């Protein structure tokens, strides 16, 4: 009787285990699939030339440059603001309704769908402020989108630092600003960087917010100012996959683009993960 | 001096803390302002009117009726409350079959006169003509079509934004499509999500967990356009073959992809919830002779049911707002869904697909912003729901 009960339990646990490995397997399926199909397309030429023959051959250089521009632009927006508001929330703000309000708003901002950011960016930056479809409008939109990520990681990495560090610094006569600048921030720096890296991963993969704020269907010319349109990797993949003139002929290009994109994004996530696991034990000592 | 610097730095930091709130405020203002413009638009296309013969008893037509009349699906006036007579439809470019080109004059100067005559002499006609040709002595009756009303939008069963003369902006097919795909996705994702969460929290060794957890987090990092592409080249053909369908782009394909995308959210939240179960509760159950399995299913899961609820709600929130993946695999036909094997169209996919073509400031453009408002309200509702659930959870634990 007891044996039967144990067998049943073992069976159920095996089912849970198999379901877990199935879920994990999805990641490797997607990754493996794109590797097998895209590896043959990847070459130096693919990365350094513009698309040719109605995007059925050539490379993705303009899209890579465009994504780089957007990543740089949006980080210039999100990183300083995010770090500053993270510092404010953890170091200055007393636990009153202001902090609660800001925190709820930050949470809400991160739950707003990316297409709504696209609409908003189009209405405010492209139309009302008159930036047009431009790197500037796209970067501002994407910057606001990842702001909650930067705020949250900054706040968490500051929270992880024990108050003994701050008290020690203040006891030596340092002001609050000096303490933050010379003691707290240097310790928190690596963890704050994970916020930056995660945001870069997110920004390079977002499509919906750039559809109507910056992305160009086909533009082999590289941008010369922040008021230019650019191509971007995720939008380029969308175009190749759904709306090219010859979808079948464009498939290899699409596989290659998808592989480059997923490698960039996963690399960013892995780097952030490594930094986090390296630094998470430091304060305990 | 130093105090001054300290104070101003604090003010600058506080200002940047306010930016998220400001952004939300701006999003609300811009979305609502543009979206509300929809209800200032006339039912028929801007600067056009519908005219009928003076003897026609019909005074008012709904947008659906107008569309069906011009699509020749309604062919008799009796169907819209008039006399039992066939409807003859007139658009401006039909003019040459009524009068010769010479009669219109070289610069079309007699056009409005002839339009007036045509409407006057054909008792069963309905004419769709530009306002500029309707002069004071127009002999027909211009129908009062009114403006697009909120009920046309919220209760409208058809989304036909480019229909002429009366575009239809019915929310229902899109809203139901979105909910249909999202709920199906959660149904797929929940058993797997729960299984993984239980396994990670209760069964896996620390080392297995240290390997699996980052992998599942990576799953959350994959861009939606990659999921969409993968769905398009792998899942869609698979579904088409398995169910022997003419096209594989269906609600089912969308739900499967969304299930995978919502899974990391569900797993993380559910696992956190399972971990909050006090050790004493678990040990009490084991001490009473319950097996580990009985403890998991009869003690742990009931204990953290509100945490699992939160996971489900957040998963739905993620699925409802997802754009690119859904746009690429669901086939995008705006019909009210009845099975999972039909194409559907969701709210975010509609915005993404149509905003590029909608002229800025027109009714279609404003309708898409209205869809954005709906999407925003849904996510706001979900955020509030989560707040309520987690507040309940904290109360319960105290």
- Considering only residues A103 and A74, tell me which one the structure prediction assigns the higher pLDDT: A74
Superfamily of domain B172-397: MetI-like (1.10.3720.10)
- Considering only residues A276 and B234, tell me which one the structure prediction assigns the higher pLDDT: B234
Best probe of the B interface among A116, A216, A251, by most B CBs < 10 A, is A116
Residues from chain A that touch B292, judged by Cβ atoms under 8 A, are 9
Interchain pair A266, B376: CB under 8 A: no
ipTM over 0.85: yes
pLDDT tier, B356 (very low <50, low <70, confident <90, very high otherwise): confident
CATH of residue A85: 1.10.3720.10
pLDDT tier, A282 (very low <50, low <70, confident <90, very high otherwise): low
B18 to chain A: nearest residue by CA? A102
Residue A62 lies in a domain: yes
Q: What is the pLDDT of residue B396?
A: 72
Interchain pair B228, A241: CB under 8 A: yes
Q: Which of residues 138-197 of A touch B (CB under 8 A)?
A: 144, 147-148, 151, 175-177
A200 to chain B: nearest residue by CA? B221
Residues from chain A that touch B236, judged by Cβ atoms under 8 A, are none
> Per-residue pLDDT averaged across B154-181, rounded?
88
Min Cα separation A154/chain B (Å): 12
For chain A, the domain total comes to: 1
Residue A255 lies in a domain: yes
Peptide bond into B165 cis (omega under 30): yes
Min Cα separation B323/chain A (Å): 7
Interchain pair B323, A115: CB under 8 A: yes
DSSP tally for chain A: helices H, then strands E: 11, 2
Residue A273 lies in a domain: yes
Residue A101 lies in a domain: yes
Q: What is the pLDDT of residue A285?
A: 43
Q: What b/e readout covers A209-243, taking b as 16+ CB neighbours within 10 angstroms?
A: bbbbbbbbeebeeebeeeebbbbbbbbbbbbbbbe
Q: Tens of pLDDT along B191-204?
A: 999 999 999 999 99
Averaged pLDDT of chain B: 88
- Domain spans of chain B, in order of start: 48-146, 172-397
Q: What is the pLDDT of residue B398?
A: 66
Q: Tens of pLDDT along B94-143?
A: 877 787 777 777 777 788 888 888 888 888 888 888 888 787 778 888 88
Residue A284 pLDDT greater than 50, yes or no: no
Q: What is the pLDDT of residue B197?
A: 95
Give the closest of B219, B223, B355 to A234, CB-based.
B223
The secondary structure of B262-320 as a DSSP string is HHHHHHHHHHHHHHTS-HHHHHHHHHTT--HHHIIIIIIHHHTHHHHHHHHHHHHHHHH
Residues from chain A that touch B204, judged by Cβ atoms under 8 A, are 20
> Per-residue pLDDT averaged across A90-117, rounded?
87
Residues from chain A that touch B23, judged by Cβ atoms under 8 A, are 109, 144, 147
Q: Tens of pLDDT along A10-68?
A: 999 999 999 999 999 999 999 999 999 999 888 888 888 888 877 778 889 999 999 99
> Per-residue pLDDT averaged across A116-127, rounded?
93
Query: What is the architecture, at CATH level 2, of domain B48-146?
Result: 3-Layer(aba) Sandwich (3.40)
Choose the weakest-confidence range: A234-238, A242-246, B3-7, B227-231. A242-246
Residue A89 pLDDT greater than 60, yes or no: yes
Residue B377 pLDDT greater than 90, yes or no: yes
| Whether the domain at B48-146 and the domain at B172-397 fall into the same CATH topology | no
Give the closest of A17, A80, A148 to B20, CB-based.
A148
Q: Tens of pLDDT along A224-268?
A: 888 999 999 999 999 999 887 778 888 889 999 999 999 999 999
pLDDT tier, B53 (very low <50, low <70, confident <90, very high otherwise): confident
Choose the weakest-confidence range: A88-102, A180-194, B205-219. A88-102
Q: Domain span at residue A99?
A: 44-284
Residue A149 lies in a domain: yes
Interchain pair A19, B267: CB under 8 A: no
Residue B237 pLDDT greater than 60, yes or no: yes
Best probe of the B interface among A3, A7, A20, by most B CBs < 10 A, is A20
Min Cα separation A222/chain B (Å): 23
Q: What is the pLDDT of residue B228?
A: 95
């Amino acid at each position: 009787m007891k044996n039967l009960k144990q067998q049943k339990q073992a069976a159920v646990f095996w089912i849970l285990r198999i379901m877990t490995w199935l879920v994990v397997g999805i990641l490797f399926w997607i990754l493996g699939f794109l590797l097998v199909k895209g590896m043959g397309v990847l070459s130096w030429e693919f990365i350094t030339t513009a698309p040719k023959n109605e995007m059925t051959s050539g490379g993705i250089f303009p899209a890579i440059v465009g994504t780089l521009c957007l990543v740089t632009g949006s980080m210039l927006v999100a990183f300083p603001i995010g770090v500053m508001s993270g510092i404010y929330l953890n170091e200055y703000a007393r636990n009153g309704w202001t902090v609660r309000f800001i925190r709820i708003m930050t949470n809400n901002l991160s739950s707003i769908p990316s297409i709504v950011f696209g609409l908003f960016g189009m209405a405010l930056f492209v139309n009302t402020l008159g930036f047009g479809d431009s790197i500037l409008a796209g970067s501002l939109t994407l910057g606001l989108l990842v702001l909650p990520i930067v705020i949250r990681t900054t706040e968490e990495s500051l929270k992880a630092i024990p108050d003994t560090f701050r008290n020690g610094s203040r006891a030596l006569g340092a002001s609050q600003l000096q303490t933050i600048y010379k003691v707290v921030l240097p310790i928190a720096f690596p963890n704050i960087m994970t916020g930056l890296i995660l945001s870069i991963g997110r920004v390079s993969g977002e499509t919906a917010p750039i559809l109507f704020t910056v992305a160009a269907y086909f533009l082999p010319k590289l941008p010369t100012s922040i008021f230019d349109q650019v191509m971007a990797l995720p939008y380029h993949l969308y175009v190749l996959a759904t709306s090219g003139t010859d979808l079948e002929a464009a498939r290899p290009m699409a596989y290659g683009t998808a592989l480059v994109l997923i490698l960039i994004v996963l690399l960013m996530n892995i780097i952030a993960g490594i930094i986090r696991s390296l630094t998470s034990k430091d304060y305990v000592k | 001096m130093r105090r001054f610097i300290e104070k101003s730095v604090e003010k600058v930091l506080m200002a940047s803390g306010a930016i998220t709130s400001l952004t939300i405020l701006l999003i609300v203002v811009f979305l609502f302002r543009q979206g509300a413009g929809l209800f200032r638009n006339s039912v028929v296309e801007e600067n056009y009117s519908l005219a009928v013969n003076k003897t026609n008893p019909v005074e008012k037509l709904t947008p659906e009726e107008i569309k069906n009349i011009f699509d020749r699906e309604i062919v008799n006036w009796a169907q819209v409350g008039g006399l039992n007579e066939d409807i003859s439809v007139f658009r401006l470019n039909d003019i040459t079959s009524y009068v010769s080109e010479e009669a219109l004059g070289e610069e079309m100067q007699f056009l409005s006169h002839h339009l007036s005559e045509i409407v006057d002499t054909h008792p069963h006609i309905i004419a769709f003509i530009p306002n500029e040709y309707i002069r004071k002595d127009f002999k027909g009756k211009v129908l009062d079509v009114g403006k697009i009303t909120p009920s046309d939008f919220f209760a409208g069963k058809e989304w036909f934004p480019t229909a002429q003369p009366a575009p239809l902006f019915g929310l229902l097919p899109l809203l139901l499509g979105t909910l249909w795909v999202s709920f199906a996705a959660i149904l797929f994702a929940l058993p797997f999500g729960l299984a993984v969460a239980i396994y990670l929290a209760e069964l896996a060794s620390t080392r297995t967990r240290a390997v699996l957890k980052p992998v599942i987090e990576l799953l959350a990092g994959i861009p939606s356009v990659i999921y969409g592409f993968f769905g398009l080249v792998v899942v869609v053909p698979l579904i088409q073959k398995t169910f022997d369908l003419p096209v594989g782009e269906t609600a089912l394909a969308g739900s499967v992809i969304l299930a995978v995308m919502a899974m990391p959210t569900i797993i993380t939240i559910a696992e956190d919830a399972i971990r909050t179960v006090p050790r004493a509760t678990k040990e009490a159950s084991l001490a009473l002779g319950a097996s580990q399995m009985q403890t998991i299913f009869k003690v742990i899961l009931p204990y953290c049911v509100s945490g699992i609820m939160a996971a489900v709600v957040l998963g739905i929130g993620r699925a409802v707002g997802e754009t690119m993946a859904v746009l690429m695999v669901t086939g995008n036909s705006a019909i009210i869904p009845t099975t999972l094997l039909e194409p559907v169209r969701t709210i975010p996919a509609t915005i993404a697909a149509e905003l590029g073509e909608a002229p800025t400031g027109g009714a279609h453009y404003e309708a898409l912003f209205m869809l954005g408002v709906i999407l925003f309200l849904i996510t706001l509702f979900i955020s509030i729901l989560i707040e309520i659930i987690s507040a309940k959870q904290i109360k319960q634990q105290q």
